[in-house]
Copies of this chain bind each other. A is one copy, B any other.
Amino acid sequence: MIVVLTGGTGGTKFADGLRRVINPQDLTVIVNTADDFQWWGLHISPDIDSVMYVLSGRVSKERGWGIAQDTFFCLQTMKQLDEPSWFQVGDRDLAVHLLRTKLLAQGKTLTEATAKIASKMDLQVGVLPMSDSRVQTRVNTPAGELSFQEYFVKRGYQDSVNSVRFEGASEAKAAPGVIDAILSADAVFVAPSNPVTSIGPILAVAQIRQALRDTSAPVAAISPIIGSAPVSGPAGILMAAQGFPISINGVAKAYEDFLDVLIVDDADEAAAKELERSDLRVSCMNIMMRSENDREQLAKRALSFVSQNLPRKISVAS
Protein backbone atom coordinates (compact mmCIF):
# COMPACT_ATOMS: atom_id res chain seq x y z
CA MET A 1 0.00 0.00 0.00
CA ILE A 2 1.31 3.42 -1.03
CA VAL A 3 0.20 6.57 0.77
CA VAL A 4 0.42 10.10 -0.64
CA LEU A 5 -0.08 13.31 1.31
CA THR A 6 -1.21 16.08 -0.97
CA GLY A 7 -2.90 19.43 -1.46
CA GLY A 8 -4.56 20.56 -4.68
CA THR A 9 -3.34 20.80 -8.25
CA GLY A 10 0.46 20.34 -8.08
CA GLY A 11 0.68 17.38 -5.75
CA THR A 12 -2.32 15.79 -7.36
CA LYS A 13 -0.36 15.33 -10.58
CA PHE A 14 2.08 13.12 -8.71
CA ALA A 15 -0.75 11.07 -7.19
CA ASP A 16 -2.12 10.73 -10.71
CA GLY A 17 1.25 9.41 -11.91
CA LEU A 18 1.27 6.83 -9.11
CA ARG A 19 -2.23 5.53 -9.81
CA ARG A 20 -1.20 5.02 -13.43
CA VAL A 21 1.82 2.84 -12.57
CA ILE A 22 0.55 0.79 -9.62
CA ASN A 23 -2.74 -0.92 -8.91
CA PRO A 24 -4.87 2.14 -8.06
CA GLN A 25 -6.56 0.20 -5.28
CA ASP A 26 -3.16 0.05 -3.58
CA LEU A 27 -3.01 3.85 -3.40
CA THR A 28 -4.42 6.00 -0.58
CA VAL A 29 -4.34 9.77 -0.88
CA ILE A 30 -4.55 11.86 2.30
CA VAL A 31 -5.77 15.32 1.40
CA ASN A 32 -5.49 18.78 2.93
CA THR A 33 -8.87 20.11 4.06
CA ALA A 34 -7.75 23.40 5.62
CA ASP A 35 -8.74 25.30 2.47
CA ASP A 36 -12.33 24.10 2.81
CA PHE A 37 -14.81 26.95 2.98
CA GLN A 38 -18.44 27.89 2.67
CA TRP A 39 -19.47 29.30 -0.69
CA TRP A 40 -23.07 30.19 -1.58
CA GLY A 41 -23.97 28.19 1.54
CA LEU A 42 -22.21 25.08 0.22
CA HIS A 43 -19.26 23.21 1.73
CA ILE A 44 -16.42 23.37 -0.78
CA SER A 45 -13.37 21.12 -0.34
CA PRO A 46 -11.11 22.44 -3.10
CA ASP A 47 -8.26 19.97 -2.62
CA ILE A 48 -10.48 16.91 -2.28
CA ASP A 49 -12.29 17.99 -5.45
CA SER A 50 -9.01 18.48 -7.31
CA VAL A 51 -7.83 15.03 -6.25
CA MET A 52 -11.09 13.40 -7.28
CA TYR A 53 -11.35 15.25 -10.60
CA VAL A 54 -7.75 14.46 -11.55
CA LEU A 55 -7.75 10.84 -10.39
CA SER A 56 -11.08 10.08 -12.06
CA GLY A 57 -9.99 11.72 -15.32
CA ARG A 58 -12.66 14.40 -15.04
CA VAL A 59 -10.36 17.43 -14.62
CA SER A 60 -10.22 20.20 -17.21
CA LYS A 61 -6.77 19.83 -18.72
CA GLU A 62 -6.89 23.40 -20.08
CA ARG A 63 -7.62 25.02 -16.73
CA GLY A 64 -5.96 22.45 -14.47
CA TRP A 65 -8.92 22.69 -12.08
CA GLY A 66 -12.63 21.98 -12.19
CA ILE A 67 -14.37 19.60 -14.56
CA ALA A 68 -13.57 19.29 -18.27
CA GLN A 69 -15.92 21.23 -20.58
CA ASP A 70 -17.76 22.65 -17.61
CA THR A 71 -19.98 25.70 -18.04
CA PHE A 72 -20.49 28.61 -15.64
CA PHE A 73 -24.11 29.62 -16.09
CA CYS A 74 -25.03 29.37 -12.42
CA LEU A 75 -22.01 31.52 -11.58
CA GLN A 76 -23.04 34.13 -14.16
CA THR A 77 -26.53 34.24 -12.69
CA MET A 78 -25.15 34.53 -9.16
CA LYS A 79 -23.14 37.52 -10.34
CA GLN A 80 -26.29 39.07 -11.82
CA LEU A 81 -27.92 38.58 -8.39
CA ASP A 82 -24.97 40.48 -6.82
CA GLU A 83 -23.64 37.38 -5.08
CA PRO A 84 -19.86 36.89 -4.85
CA SER A 85 -18.42 35.35 -7.99
CA TRP A 86 -14.65 35.28 -7.46
CA PHE A 87 -14.55 31.55 -6.78
CA GLN A 88 -15.23 29.84 -10.08
CA VAL A 89 -17.76 27.09 -9.54
CA GLY A 90 -18.81 25.30 -12.71
CA ASP A 91 -22.29 23.92 -13.27
CA ARG A 92 -21.08 20.28 -13.21
CA ASP A 93 -18.73 21.04 -10.33
CA LEU A 94 -21.68 22.40 -8.40
CA ALA A 95 -23.27 18.96 -8.32
CA VAL A 96 -20.35 17.68 -6.23
CA HIS A 97 -20.61 20.58 -3.78
CA LEU A 98 -24.36 20.13 -3.51
CA LEU A 99 -24.03 16.42 -2.82
CA ARG A 100 -21.27 16.89 -0.23
CA THR A 101 -23.21 19.65 1.53
CA LYS A 102 -26.35 17.51 1.60
CA LEU A 103 -24.46 14.52 3.04
CA LEU A 104 -22.82 16.68 5.72
CA ALA A 105 -26.21 18.22 6.59
CA GLN A 106 -27.52 14.67 7.00
CA GLY A 107 -24.84 14.12 9.68
CA LYS A 108 -22.29 12.27 7.56
CA THR A 109 -18.63 13.00 8.28
CA LEU A 110 -16.40 14.51 5.62
CA THR A 111 -14.70 11.10 5.35
CA GLU A 112 -18.04 9.40 4.68
CA ALA A 113 -19.18 12.10 2.24
CA THR A 114 -15.87 11.87 0.38
CA ALA A 115 -16.06 8.07 0.19
CA LYS A 116 -19.58 8.24 -1.19
CA ILE A 117 -18.75 10.82 -3.86
CA ALA A 118 -15.53 8.99 -4.79
CA SER A 119 -17.50 5.77 -5.18
CA LYS A 120 -20.09 7.47 -7.40
CA MET A 121 -17.18 8.70 -9.55
CA ASP A 122 -15.86 5.14 -9.79
CA LEU A 123 -12.61 6.25 -8.23
CA GLN A 124 -10.31 3.27 -7.63
CA VAL A 125 -7.90 5.20 -5.41
CA GLY A 126 -8.70 5.69 -1.72
CA VAL A 127 -9.23 9.38 -0.87
CA LEU A 128 -9.16 10.41 2.78
CA PRO A 129 -9.56 13.92 4.15
CA MET A 130 -6.80 14.60 6.69
CA SER A 131 -9.40 15.26 9.39
CA ASP A 132 -13.15 15.36 9.94
CA SER A 133 -12.59 18.32 12.28
CA ARG A 134 -12.63 21.87 11.02
CA VAL A 135 -9.09 23.16 10.42
CA GLN A 136 -8.70 26.48 8.65
CA THR A 137 -5.60 27.99 7.14
CA ARG A 138 -5.41 31.67 8.07
CA VAL A 139 -2.96 33.88 6.21
CA ASN A 140 -1.80 36.95 8.13
CA THR A 141 -1.12 39.82 5.70
CA PRO A 142 -0.80 43.60 6.01
CA ALA A 143 -4.39 43.71 4.69
CA GLY A 144 -5.56 41.57 7.62
CA GLU A 145 -6.01 37.87 8.24
CA LEU A 146 -7.41 36.08 5.19
CA SER A 147 -8.77 32.62 4.56
CA PHE A 148 -6.63 30.68 2.12
CA GLN A 149 -9.17 31.04 -0.69
CA GLU A 150 -9.36 34.79 -0.14
CA TYR A 151 -5.57 35.01 -0.20
CA PHE A 152 -5.05 32.62 -3.11
CA VAL A 153 -8.06 32.99 -5.41
CA LYS A 154 -9.80 36.26 -4.57
CA ARG A 155 -6.63 38.33 -4.16
CA GLY A 156 -4.40 36.25 -6.47
CA TYR A 157 -1.65 35.83 -3.77
CA GLN A 158 -0.47 39.40 -4.30
CA ASP A 159 -0.36 40.26 -0.59
CA SER A 160 2.86 39.96 1.34
CA VAL A 161 2.54 37.38 4.10
CA ASN A 162 3.58 37.84 7.72
CA SER A 163 2.68 34.35 8.92
CA VAL A 164 0.30 31.45 8.52
CA ARG A 165 -1.64 29.61 11.19
CA PHE A 166 -4.00 26.63 11.19
CA GLU A 167 -7.06 27.41 13.22
CA GLY A 168 -8.46 24.32 14.93
CA ALA A 169 -5.43 22.15 14.17
CA SER A 170 -4.34 21.70 17.79
CA GLU A 171 -7.69 20.08 18.68
CA ALA A 172 -8.11 18.23 15.37
CA LYS A 173 -7.88 14.46 15.14
CA ALA A 174 -6.79 12.57 12.08
CA ALA A 175 -9.73 11.26 10.07
CA PRO A 176 -10.53 7.53 10.42
CA GLY A 177 -8.10 5.46 8.38
CA VAL A 178 -5.38 8.09 8.10
CA ILE A 179 -3.11 6.90 10.90
CA ASP A 180 -3.58 3.21 9.97
CA ALA A 181 -2.76 4.00 6.35
CA ILE A 182 0.49 5.73 7.30
CA LEU A 183 1.56 3.11 9.83
CA SER A 184 0.81 0.14 7.57
CA ALA A 185 2.09 1.68 4.31
CA ASP A 186 4.89 0.24 2.20
CA ALA A 187 5.91 3.80 1.38
CA VAL A 188 4.63 7.28 2.16
CA PHE A 189 5.06 10.11 -0.33
CA VAL A 190 4.73 13.77 0.41
CA ALA A 191 3.57 15.15 -2.94
CA PRO A 192 5.19 18.26 -4.48
CA SER A 193 2.54 20.53 -2.95
CA ASN A 194 3.09 23.76 -1.07
CA PRO A 195 4.85 22.72 2.20
CA VAL A 196 3.18 25.52 4.18
CA THR A 197 -0.48 25.68 3.14
CA SER A 198 -1.01 22.31 1.42
CA ILE A 199 1.13 19.86 3.43
CA GLY A 200 1.49 22.13 6.49
CA PRO A 201 -2.12 21.74 7.68
CA ILE A 202 -1.88 17.94 7.39
CA LEU A 203 1.27 17.99 9.52
CA ALA A 204 -0.38 20.39 11.96
CA VAL A 205 -2.63 17.51 13.01
CA ALA A 206 -0.30 16.18 15.73
CA GLN A 207 -1.40 12.56 15.35
CA ILE A 208 -0.49 12.58 11.66
CA ARG A 209 2.94 14.13 12.15
CA GLN A 210 3.63 11.58 14.90
CA ALA A 211 2.54 8.70 12.65
CA LEU A 212 4.97 9.91 9.98
CA ARG A 213 7.75 9.74 12.57
CA ASP A 214 6.60 6.35 13.83
CA THR A 215 5.90 4.49 10.60
CA SER A 216 8.42 1.86 9.56
CA ALA A 217 7.73 2.75 5.92
CA PRO A 218 10.16 5.08 4.17
CA VAL A 219 8.80 8.62 3.90
CA ALA A 220 9.79 10.42 0.71
CA ALA A 221 8.99 13.97 -0.39
CA ILE A 222 9.08 15.32 -3.92
CA SER A 223 10.33 18.89 -3.79
CA PRO A 224 7.93 21.61 -4.94
CA ILE A 225 10.98 23.88 -5.25
CA ILE A 226 13.54 23.86 -8.07
CA GLY A 227 16.58 26.06 -7.44
CA SER A 228 15.25 29.03 -5.50
CA ALA A 229 11.70 29.14 -6.80
CA PRO A 230 8.56 27.07 -6.57
CA VAL A 231 7.37 25.14 -9.63
CA SER A 232 4.12 27.10 -9.33
CA GLY A 233 2.07 29.19 -6.96
CA PRO A 234 2.90 31.06 -3.76
CA ALA A 235 4.98 28.33 -2.03
CA GLY A 236 8.06 30.58 -1.99
CA ILE A 237 6.38 33.56 -0.28
CA LEU A 238 4.70 31.28 2.23
CA MET A 239 7.88 29.29 3.02
CA ALA A 240 9.79 32.53 3.61
CA ALA A 241 7.02 33.78 5.90
CA GLN A 242 7.31 30.61 7.96
CA GLY A 243 11.12 30.88 8.17
CA PHE A 244 12.06 28.19 5.65
CA PRO A 245 14.69 28.87 2.97
CA ILE A 246 13.15 28.82 -0.53
CA SER A 247 15.22 25.86 -1.67
CA ILE A 248 15.38 22.11 -1.34
CA ASN A 249 17.03 22.80 2.04
CA GLY A 250 13.85 24.57 3.09
CA VAL A 251 11.77 21.59 2.01
CA ALA A 252 14.07 19.24 3.94
CA LYS A 253 13.80 21.48 6.99
CA ALA A 254 9.97 21.58 6.82
CA TYR A 255 9.88 17.77 6.95
CA GLU A 256 13.12 17.09 8.88
CA ASP A 257 11.64 15.12 11.77
CA PHE A 258 10.20 12.34 9.58
CA LEU A 259 11.77 12.53 6.11
CA ASP A 260 13.88 9.61 4.81
CA VAL A 261 14.14 10.51 1.13
CA LEU A 262 13.97 13.82 -0.71
CA ILE A 263 13.46 13.73 -4.47
CA VAL A 264 14.68 16.89 -6.17
CA ASP A 265 15.13 18.11 -9.71
CA ASP A 266 18.28 17.35 -11.71
CA ALA A 267 18.89 21.10 -11.63
CA ASP A 268 19.51 20.84 -7.88
CA GLU A 269 22.23 18.20 -8.14
CA ALA A 270 24.88 20.27 -6.35
CA ALA A 271 22.58 21.28 -3.51
CA ALA A 272 21.42 17.67 -3.27
CA LYS A 273 24.96 16.42 -2.64
CA GLU A 274 25.44 18.94 0.14
CA LEU A 275 22.08 18.09 1.70
CA GLU A 276 22.51 14.31 1.73
CA ARG A 277 23.42 12.87 5.10
CA SER A 278 23.20 9.50 6.83
CA ASP A 279 19.49 9.85 7.69
CA LEU A 280 18.39 11.64 4.51
CA ARG A 281 18.88 10.25 1.04
CA VAL A 282 18.48 12.79 -1.75
CA SER A 283 17.78 11.67 -5.30
CA CYS A 284 17.85 13.82 -8.43
CA MET A 285 15.50 13.27 -11.37
CA ASN A 286 13.22 15.28 -13.64
CA ILE A 287 10.44 16.44 -11.30
CA MET A 288 8.67 18.82 -13.74
CA MET A 289 5.36 17.23 -14.73
CA ARG A 290 4.31 18.85 -17.99
CA SER A 291 2.62 15.79 -19.49
CA GLU A 292 0.90 12.63 -18.36
CA ASN A 293 4.04 10.78 -19.40
CA ASP A 294 6.12 13.04 -17.08
CA ARG A 295 3.79 12.09 -14.21
CA GLU A 296 4.19 8.40 -14.89
CA GLN A 297 7.96 8.63 -15.26
CA LEU A 298 8.34 10.57 -12.03
CA ALA A 299 6.10 8.13 -10.19
CA LYS A 300 8.06 5.15 -11.53
CA ARG A 301 11.45 6.64 -10.70
CA ALA A 302 10.36 7.79 -7.26
CA LEU A 303 8.94 4.33 -6.50
CA SER A 304 12.06 2.73 -7.85
CA PHE A 305 14.36 4.89 -5.75
CA VAL A 306 12.32 4.43 -2.59
CA SER A 307 11.98 0.68 -3.17
CA GLN A 308 15.70 0.41 -2.44
CA ASN A 309 14.75 1.24 1.14
CA LEU A 310 11.48 -0.69 1.15
CA PRO A 311 10.77 -3.65 3.40
CA ARG A 312 8.50 -5.12 0.69
CA LYS A 313 8.63 -4.88 -3.07
CA ILE A 314 6.25 -2.44 -4.80
CA SER A 315 4.77 -3.74 -8.02
CA VAL A 316 5.24 -1.06 -10.69
CA ALA A 317 3.54 -1.42 -14.07
CA SER A 318 6.12 -1.74 -16.81
Contact = CB atoms under 8 A, between A and B. Distances in A.
Interface of A: 40-42, 67, 70-71, 73-78, 80-83, 90-92, 94-96, 98-99, 101-102, 105, 117, 120-121
A110 to B, nearest CB: 15
A92 B74 contact: yes
Contacts of A83: 95, 98-99
A73 B98 contact: no
A83 B117 CA distance: 11
B82 A120 contact: yes
B94 A74 contact: yes
Nearest to A101: B41
Copies in the complex: 2
A60 to B, nearest CB: 13
A80 B80 CA distance: 29
Given A42-B98, A74-B94, A83-B95, 16 more contacts: A40-B102, A41-B101, A67-B77, A70-B73, A71-B73, A73-B91, A74-B91, A74-B95, A77-B92, A77-B95, A78-B95, A81-B120, A82-B120, A83-B98, A83-B99, A91-B91
Contacts of A105: 41
Contacts of A78: 95, 98-99
14 contacts: A40-B99, A41-B101, A71-B73, A71-B91, A77-B92, A77-B95, A77-B96, A78-B98, A80-B95, A82-B120, A83-B95, A83-B99, A91-B91, A91-B94
A37 to B, nearest CB: 14
Nearest to A69: B73
Nearest to A116: B81
A74 to B, nearest CB: 5
A55 to B, nearest CB: 16
A256 B83 CA distance: 45
Q: Which 10 A-B pairs have the closest CB atoms?
A: A77-B95, A41-B102, A73-B91, A91-B91, A77-B92, A81-B120, A74-B91, A78-B95, A40-B98, A74-B94
A16 B43 CA distance: 38
Contacts of A40: 98-99, 102
A74 B80 CA distance: 19
Contacts of A94: 74, 77, 91, 94
Contacts of A75: 95
Contacts of A96: 77, 81
